[in-house]
Structure 1
Amino acid sequence: MGIDAARYEAEQLADRIRRALVAPFRLSDYEIGVDCAIGIAHGEDAVDDVEELIRNAQFAVKAAKSGTQVESYHTDAFTIARDQFAMETALRRAIEQSQLRLAFQPICDLASGEIVAFEALARWRDLQGVDQDPSKFIPVAEESGLIVPLGRWAMEEAARTLVWLDESCGGDCGMRMAVNLSAIQIQRDDIAAVVEGSLIRHGLKGERFTLELTESAIVSDPDRTARAMHALRSLGTVLAMDDFGTGYSNLAYLQQLPIDILKIDRSFVTEMLADRDKIAIVRAILSLAQALGMKTTAEGVETNELAQTLAALGCTYGQGYLYARPLEASDALALVRRLRAQRRSA
């Protein structure tokens, strides 16, 4: 039998096993369902190291547990796992030694054209001076559980920075701060107590913060998330659903949960002027938000024409490179001071 035929037969056998196991069966008066994940490792010949084949199969079954159900081992899997472990180790050290920082991206009120808030975004420059990509280290943080201490640090640092902006401006700087919350944080941490602690330590009101949750946070554990959201709302914070439209949330959640803002994902916004389907989706989200009494934020705003169109459609806020890329804290302060000076002159 050729290699390709053998691989195909193994995959077909694994699929038959999976379907047989996941079918519910009766035990006394109960119906039992079993989740099943299968990993496959292929040997080239009879002299292959059995222990290595087993280890490769273990790598494959770990990947299968992420949702693919049946997964074959890929030759680069060990390299990927090693790199992720190395990043996890370095990230753990970076959190412990306060090597991370926040960058701040402005959020604009589309009706008035004024900057009203900053979204706090985690940034990490490693000991070699290399800026690590958040799209790579944030998933590692979530998978390893490091997102919990990382999230605590981000909330504390955002509060500290907001106080610094206020003090530097001689009073309330007029800005709110948006902080992202991970589904893992909500599942594993007492997130309301974390936020309340930061507010108390820094003498800030909850209304100065917008806390952003993704749809996955709601879908993964709706009851716990609902309790956490109501507790956060009781602190006076504003709650936003991030990347709306890219997940699978039940629309009933939008009515039942204390959500104040829907953030429209950039994948719908950036090219919407040239794509009728995308502008239809944006219109539908804006109509839904209006019907539920929610505000909206469009991500990925890069041109004045796009900002004006969104404003005309009734979108509340805009965020994107039109206003600024994520700023260092000193640049955010300079922007706030410039805006305040412009308002006084006007």
Structure 2
Amino acid sequence: MKENPQWHTDRQPQSPLQFDLHTNKHMSEALSELFQVPLPPQYASNIDKTDDNAQAVNTLLEFCFDFLSLVANVQHCFLMDFSSERPKQYVYQLALGNHEDSLAIQAITHSQSNAADCLSMLRQYSAESQGHQWQQIKLPLNNLKHPELYLFIEAEFHFPQWYALIIQIMHARIREISQWSNERHTRYNIYRQLAMTAAENLATDQLCQQLNAYLINYLSDVQLHVMLQHDGHLSMQYSSGKVCATALHKQLAEAIIKHGTNRLFTPLMLNKLDPNTQQNIAWYGTPLTHQGNIIGVFALSSQDNKHKINTIIQELINYTAALCSLVMQQQMLQFSIESEVNLEQQVQEKLERLHQTNQRLEHELKQYQSATEQLSYGSLYDSLTQLPNRALFAEKLDQALKRVKRHPSETFAVVFIDLDQFKTVNQSHGHHIGDQLLIAIARLLSQCIRQNDIVARLGGDEFIVLLDRISQQQDILDITERIIQSFSQPLTVKGLQIQSSCHLGICQVNASFHSVEQILQQADMAMYQAKSQDSEFCFYQEMQYQQQEQIQQHKLSNALAKGLIIPHYQPMIRLRDNALMGFEVVARWQDKTSTLRRALDFIPFAERSGLIIELDRHILQQACIQLKKWQHLNPSNKHIRVAVNLSPKHLLSEPAVNELIKTIKRCRIAPNSLVFEFSEKEFVRQNQTAFDSLEKLRQAGVKVGMDDFGTGFSSLNALFEYPIDFIKVDHSFTQRMLSSKKDLSLMRAVRDISNDLGFQVIIEGIETMQQHEKLVEIGCEYGQGYYISKPMRPGEIQHLFEV
């Protein structure tokens, strides 16, 4: 036995793991296939950046270890393969205890031939040496050559009530990875087999039989149908099982032919379409075409209640339908050849096109597989404009600040750009035109800056520019003038002439600045100062800013006194049937011109000035009064909840919390009709006082919600640590989920965790029908957004109660 075996490492939680690649090559190769799909963000980044099998196994164990570390003090953790015919192999071991114990444990495990005996001996040794309890976990790595893979852990469990949940999450995640690995291995083969069958001009039913044999791995019940139309009438040409509810199949097929596109019908949708149907089935169909005309429908139906017809299955159905169409075309041509010899050349052209189509489909499949390996791009760049996002800009800004501190003679500047009336463009022309306008402005700003400068999109209608290595203030003015001048001419967007304008806030940075946040805050303040002065741009000036703050504070205090801060209400619905569940209150400031200013225009100032407590109480009281009116008009509205966003400053003062509770009592409404929402970023910054305040609110009957979930750095910890009834997933994930598998995976993960931990999930930022349908498909329950409804005055909401 070696004095310092390679498998032994001293490790503290969260530090890098070690792995013996040479003695465990066979297992690392098998395990590496599990890491071709996304893991949680802190682990996925390691896998995306390396092809090293050792790193892949380390990441799996890091995932297991860090999850277990939430509930236990882990002393020893090692992974063993008992499936090999030769002596057992250590795949991995880490040790936090002393070296003598590690060597003794090695001797025990090396002398055992199976996992049960190994666990028994370890527990006996632990009892004799007064160690901690040993646990054994068999990793469910299905379809691998080495299934006897076990994880042994010696740990003191601080929270045994969470142990089963953590193990469940680990098992579910590893099973999901294993399932995706199997799919990746077999998906290319089935595509190839189907293409070869079609190229051999075999019958359509043989294509269906091959496809059916593949799909039973994913759905317990599979039925494939081919329906063709002749003279306007549909007939069932092929079905892989007993055909039930033939009229329903024809009705769905007619809908596919009418719209000319593929479509998925869930059991809920079918029940709405035909309330008398007794079939609890999901149905997916895609058109069959010949020379550009729809000749029928290729469909899949399933009564599998546990598994869904996911996008992978849908793509395979589309591919098979295309092959069926080509096969039928080929067979028609061959039939013509038998009667007309002079059509031989035309048949050969059709066959060549079939071959080219197969090649193109195989090429597209390879491109799809390659695209899945490039997921990291979306975490640093804005998906709409392709500009750097906030995270990448903050990184570049931090680098520039560190350089200036090393070289105090250097300086740089940050220009904060806020577009004017962008919301009006969205409301007048639609979000699609608004998106195209943002793309055009991003291109415009990129043309205004120098080669070493950086322009980024912070989100919404806000952009920011880093002007690097500024020698004099005139350099800033020159670039600022170019930006302002570029907005002087209307922009052409989809044939529309749109005049846009902006306000610029400028912060010139030197070695006296201490953080990125300080730079961004001063640039933001300068931009608001430019807005308030109706100036095109403004440099941050401390004294001038203080005067402006005093003026702004007077205006906001006056607005509160005169009741010009008005609550609007945005509906929150149950997504599967659009049933109304409540409203989120958003504040609007009605100025002298009757223009409504958004909350983002004055809430940050209210936080800085200390007026936020008074503003929150004003909005809460108005919301309580309005909720009481709705409940009085119709007793059936008692299930309606109103969610109010509050500043975390309320949580730091017991009198402030008491005043919130008094306001509810004065309005005589049930406390459980209210949800107090706090930003996730603020949750993780609070202390024990804030925790006690949350508990007091919940004891009073008020529900507590976490807003903007997913934007902080401790999302998972916050779910375990704080008393939460609702979470709202940040709108940025909704915007990206249709194009980002990572964001879609987060939606599913939050859905699963919410079921286990007992809180409800609301999805924010639903702006399109496609987003709404996808959220229903993956099982998300509640949501809100402009696709459902914009925030409205109370008088505009009555029709929702009538519906």
What TM-score, normalized to structure 1?
0.75
- Pair 1:12-2:413 in alignment: no
Distance of 2:607 and 2:554 partners within structure 1: 13
Distance of 1:151 and 1:187 partners within structure 2: 15
Mapping for residues 93-112 of structure 1, pairs under 5 Å: 93-112=558-577
Distance of 1:67 and 1:269 partners within structure 2: 26
- Pair 1:197-2:625 in alignment: no
Matched length: 298
Give how far 1:14 is off.
6.0
2:748 paired residue among 271, 283, 295: 283
Instruction: Check 1:173–1:221 CA distance in 2 against 1; reply closer, same or farther (3 A cut).
Output: closer
Distance of 1:61 and 1:183 partners within structure 2: 32
Q: Name the residue aligned to 1:210.
A: 675
Distance of 2:556 and 2:771 partners within structure 1: 37
Corresponding letter in the other structure for 2:606: A
Q: Name the residue aligned to 1:231.
A: 696
- Pair 1:328-2:793 in alignment: yes
Instruction: Check 1:332–1:313 CA distance in 2 against 1; reply closer, same or farther (3 A cut).
Output: same
Distance of 1:134 and 1:61 partners within structure 2: 34
Whether the 8 Å contact between 1:103 and 1:329 is mirrored in structure 2 is yes
Q: Which runs of 5+ in 1 are unaligned?
A: 1-6, 16-41, 45-56, 340-346
Q: Name the residue aligned to 2:552.
A: 87
Instruction: Check 1:109–1:61 CA distance in 2 against 1; reply closer, same or farther (3 A cut).
Output: farther
Distance of 1:207 and 1:159 partners within structure 2: 12
Give how far 1:86 is off.
3.0
Distance of 1:142 and 1:175 partners within structure 2: 29
Distance of 1:288 and 1:84 partners within structure 2: 44
> Equivalent residue of 2:675, what SS?
strand
Corresponding letter in the other structure for 1:272: M
Determine which structure has greater relative contact order: mean sequence separation of CA pairs < 8 Å that are 6+ residues apart, divided by chain length: 1
Give how far 1:288 is off.
2.8
Deviations 1:273-308 (A, max 9, x none): 122222122223223323322210000112333223
Mapping for residues 129-278 of structure 1, pairs under 5 Å: 129-169=594-634, 172-188=637-653, 190-249=655-714, 251-278=716-743
Q: Name the residue aligned to 1:119.
A: 584
Whether the 8 Å contact between 2:704 and 2:725 is mirrored in structure 1 is yes
The two structures, once aligned, show a CA RMSD in angstroms of: 3.6
Instruction: Check 1:110–1:69 CA distance in 2 against 1; reply closer, same or farther (3 A cut).
Output: closer
Instruction: Check 1:312–1:12 CA distance in 2 against 1; reply closer, same or farther (3 A cut).
Output: same
Corresponding letter in the other structure for 2:406: Q
Give how far 1:313 is off.
2.1
Distance of 1:11 and 1:117 partners within structure 2: 51
Distance of 1:61 and 1:245 partners within structure 2: 33
Corresponding letter in the other structure for 1:227: D
Q: Name the residue aligned to 2:780.
A: 315
Q: Which moved more, 1:92-101 or 1:287-296?
A: 287-296
Whether the 8 Å contact between 1:186 and 1:217 is mirrored in structure 2 is no
> Equivalent residue of 1:201, what SS?
helix
Deviations 1:180-201 (A, max 9, x none): 1112232356343233212211
Give how far 1:314 is off.
2.7
Larger Rg: 2
> Equivalent residue of 2:797, what SS?
helix
Give how far 1:244 is off.
0.2
Mapping for residues 48-87 of structure 1, pairs under 5 Å: 64=514, 67-68=517-518, 76-78=539-541, 83-87=548-552
Distance of 1:256 and 1:11 partners within structure 2: 38
Deviations 1:209-231 (A, max 9, x none): 11111112222223122111101
Whether the 8 Å contact between 2:738 and 2:771 is mirrored in structure 1 is yes
Instruction: Check 1:285–1:175 CA distance in 2 against 1; reply closer, same or farther (3 A cut).
Output: same
Whether the 8 Å contact between 1:269 and 1:300 is mirrored in structure 2 is yes
Deviations 1:112-171 (A, max 9, x none): 320110101111011232322311201001111111100111111110110111223366
Whether the 8 Å contact between 1:107 and 1:119 is mirrored in structure 2 is yes
What TM-score, normalized to structure 2?
0.34
Sequence identity (%): 25
Q: Which moved more, 1:307-316 or 1:321-330?
A: 307-316
Distance of 1:266 and 1:114 partners within structure 2: 21
2:770 paired residue among 282, 286, 305: 305
Q: Which runs of 5+ in 2 are unaligned?
A: 1-400, 410-470, 474-506, 527-537
Instruction: Check 1:309–1:63 CA distance in 2 against 1; reply closer, same or farther (3 A cut).
Output: same
Instruction: Check 1:114–1:9 CA distance in 2 against 1; reply closer, same or farther (3 A cut).
Output: closer
Instruction: Check 1:85–1:293 CA distance in 2 against 1; reply closer, same or farther (3 A cut).
Output: same
Give how far 1:206 is off.
1.1
Give how far 1:234 is off.
0.5
> Equivalent residue of 1:220, what SS?
coil
Corresponding letter in the other structure for 1:308: E
Corresponding letter in the other structure for 1:321: Y
Distance of 1:196 and 1:71 partners within structure 2: 33
Corresponding letter in the other structure for 2:604: P
Distance of 2:556 and 2:592 partners within structure 1: 11
Instruction: Check 1:219–1:9 CA distance in 2 against 1; reply closer, same or farther (3 A cut).
Output: closer
Whether the 8 Å contact between 1:125 and 1:131 is mirrored in structure 2 is yes
Distance of 2:610 and 2:714 partners within structure 1: 24
Distance of 1:61 and 1:96 partners within structure 2: 43
